[in-house]
Every structure is written in C-alpha cells, then in structure tokens.
A and B are shown apart, each in its own frame.
Chain A
C-alpha cells in the first residue's frame, strides 16, 4: 500500500492512522519508546531535496518501531555519477526494502516511483504536488486541540468523524508552490473543515477555483473569521521576483504580524509546517505566542509517522 497523496487514503485507513497515532503518542512517552511492530523491516529515505524534520522524523519513527533504516544521500550517491532515479529505486528494491520514503523537486515522482518497487512508497514531498504525512500530522494536531478551537457546541466536533466539522481554517501565503497546502486542503475538507485560501493572486494556483475552498486576496477582511490560521513558508527558492513586487509588500499584506494577532478570534490557533522564515510569513511574536501550536505539530510528527508506517504495513485497530 502506498501513500503518495491524501487521496490514496480510504476513509478506513484515514481512521486507522488517527487511532494508531494515539497509541504511538503513548508509546513515545515511555521510558523506552520503542516497540517491535516492524521488526525485520527496512525503510529507505531517498531525498532529492533538503530536509531536516521530515527525514529525521521518518527515521526516528522507523527506529521506534524497530524498523531498520537506510539513508540515501544525494551528494555522496551514484546520482552524482549520472545514475537515473529509476535505476536508484530499482537498486534499492533489489536489495529488499519495505518502505521507500521519497522527496523530489518534481511533482508526481512518488507515484512514478511506486511503479518501480514493491515497497510501500510514501511521498515526503514531490515538487508542488503533495506532502500527505505533513497533512496527517496537522489533522491529528487539530483533532487534539479541537475542543479549544470553537465557540460551537463541543459535542459536535472532535469526538468522531468528521473530526473537524465546523472549523474554519485559513491557509495563508504562498499557496501555488505549496505541497503542504495541496495535501492539507484535501485532508481538512475530508474531515469536514471549511478552508479559505488567502494570498496574492500571483501565488494562488490558477486551478484553485475547482478546489473545495473559498479564495480571497484580503487577509484583514477574513482573519477574524478563522479558528485556525495556517501560515505557509514563503518559498524563496521557488518564488521568482516577478511574482511579488517586493518582500516588504508581501509581509505587509500577508504576514502574520502582531497587529493581526489582535484581530484574530481569542481561541484562534496558529500553525506552520516549518521551517519558519521569522519576520516573513510569521513575526517572531506570532510564532512564539500562546496561539501558536507549531511545536505541538513537531511533537506529533514522529508518532503520526509511526502510525503511517504501521497502518501501511497492515496493523489495524478497527475491526470492520
């Protein structure tokens, strides 16, 4: 079974990952946070793009499940001798791996790779396409705090499917380059949340009108309606200068500044997939204030990825 997109998840597998995450949060709090669920299995991380938290949390998740890990290092690998992606993956497959965690600058590579190996392929970010495990981490973080999030009847959310019913989530910033946004729109809306995308017209995808979301360019008009403000990283490496007039102007219109903190609902939470450009999409004050649940997202990253690995290998909670 693969996880190249949030759309790969059947409702029951989505539910399994949510339930298993709870187990592995408890396991992670033990004196010895390691269980033999994936003993004898092997996971390879193949990253053609830089990463700290995603790669390390996948490797930590594997190790806590007693799964062995192989790390592909782009600069010291045979890629520098001209080996193709296909040959690299087929070589790993021939060595015998059970999970292939892949990140690549081109959209669709994870799905392509799944045709070259029998291992479970997990997309750790493919260009501007998807980053499904980040979306799962964000969903589980929101489910944990959903009772703090709303003025609505607490019984109507957070307890059962759809877990995020009645929440209004604003995803703010550079949507067009964001694989996190694409996965999160799919995941949040499947869990019943209302999603509004906010950003400059040049950084909104041209096909966004077909997504199940509202779209606006004016952050100040909508910020007071959100239960969650999800700030995206300003992807300097992908943004060409013609897309925005200047960084200062971008910050003034779409950055989460201290003035905008005051305009938010009192219970509104701030999320970010990391790494943060402090002073760009989030002011330092916004990143560190009591509204921020960014460190909770990081906290959940290992147990949720443990849940993904266990669920893809066939461990399950619900018997139906």
Chain B
C-alpha cells in the first residue's frame, strides 16, 4: 500500500483496513498554517531558515510548510530534503526506499534548520536525521516539525511543532496521503 507521502504501511505484513479517518485535506492545511505561524513567531521571522524534509514521507509536508512560510513571511525559506537510510540503526534490516533522495543545495552553517516529517513515532528516524545533518554542516539550531505525533517514543526526542497528537496502538498504522490522515488496523496477518 503506497501513500502519496510515504510508506507507513508495510505491504508485506498483512492486510489492513481503514479504522478511522482522523484528518481531512483542509485539516492538514490548517495544521500546517498554524505550525508556520508558530515557526515565524519563535524565530522572529523566516530569515536564515532552511526547511529540510525527511525523505520520503516528510518531503511533501515540508514542501507545503515551506510554501506557507513563504506566503506569510519573507524571504521564503530555502528548501532541502534528506535521506537518512545510511544513518539508520536498522539499515541492514529494512530496504532503503528507492525514491529516497538527498538534496541540500545550500550551506546550513549558522542557519536554523527546520526538520519536517509526516509522522513521528519511535524517534529513531529523527535521531538518524540529526546525525546526517551533522555531516552537512553546523546549524545554529535545529527544530523539528511533524504533522502527526503517534507516541511510542524510544529515544529522548520531542518535536517543537506538532500538527496533531494521535495516540495509536503499535498494531495500527498511520497513513498520510493528499486526502488526509487515516488510521489503519491489521485485519489479516
């Protein structure tokens, strides 16, 4: 099952059914708009901001957030995307997504980097992203925005901006698409 944003449903691990639609497309837009205002408020503008989407799921969310930031503040932040597979602690256990692309064309030294992902759960992706970012330069600060926080953290990592807190069980999956956010549950193993 492939979603527009990324794969949060392992297609080979059973059959999943829709349990609940938790956010609609306008809900996502409103959440990102609020996050954008929070980012501008906290950073006193968008000067020096670099928005970096975590490949693959975070890239679309990051693009939207970056666009919104450009609408409400000037200058429009620089944009990049970061593939974190080589930094993952389970790189030998799961495939590297074929569409995962890294592209950071700007110098991030002494800038504020806003990492963006669609869903945060264990925090291991963000841990890997921080390690990867370290190899691109030394930002003044790194902040984290996520559309969905579904809990189950395994590392001491906390997002600065959250679209929606969504408590889920580990047996459920969160799917983010253009149409919205849905919780899926396994109906057949």
- Which A residues form the contact surface with B (CB < 8 A)? 19-20, 23, 26-27, 30-32, 34-37, 313-319
Pairwise interchain contact A317-B95, C-beta atoms closer than 8 A: yes
Interface-side segment among B18-26, B45-53, B62-70, B85-93: B85-93
Q: What per-residue 1/0 map shows which CB atoms of B124-160 lie under 8 Å from chain A? A: 0000000110011100000000000000000000000
Q: Is the CB of A316 within 8 A of B96?
A: yes
| Chain A residue contacts of B98, Cβ below 8 A | 19, 317-318
Contact A30 B136 (CB under 8 A): yes
Chain A residues whose CB sits within 8 angstroms of the CB of B102 once the complex forms = 26, 30
Q: Is the CB of B135 within 8 A of A37?
A: no
Given the interface pairs A30-B135, A30-B136, the reply to whether A35 lies near B87 with Cβ below 8 Å is: yes
CB of B96 within 8 A of CB of A315, answer yes
User: B: which residues have CB within 8 A of A?
Assistant: 12, 83, 85-87, 91-92, 95-98, 101-102, 131-132, 135-137
Task: For the complex, give the distance between the alpha carbons of A31 and B106 in Å.
Answer: 11
Given contacts A315-B91, A315-B92, 14 further A-B contacts (CB under 8 A): A20-B96, A23-B83, A26-B102, A27-B86, A30-B135, A32-B136, A36-B86, A36-B87, A36-B131, A37-B91, A313-B92, A316-B95, A316-B96, A319-B12
Nearest A residue to B7, CB-CB: A319
Which residues of the other chain, A, contact B96 by a CB distance below 8 angstroms? 20, 23, 315-317
State in angstroms the CA–CA spacing of A266 and B135 once bound together: 42
A36 vs B83: C-alpha distance when bound (angstroms): 13
Residues on A with C-beta less than 8 A from B97 are 317
CB distance from B104 to the nearest CB of A (A): 9
- A318–B97 Cα distance when bound, in Å, is 7
A27 shortest CB reach to chain B, Å: 7
How far, in whole Å, are A297 and B131 apart by their CA atoms in the complex?
A: 31
Is A319 in contact with B136, judged by CB distance below 8 angstroms? no
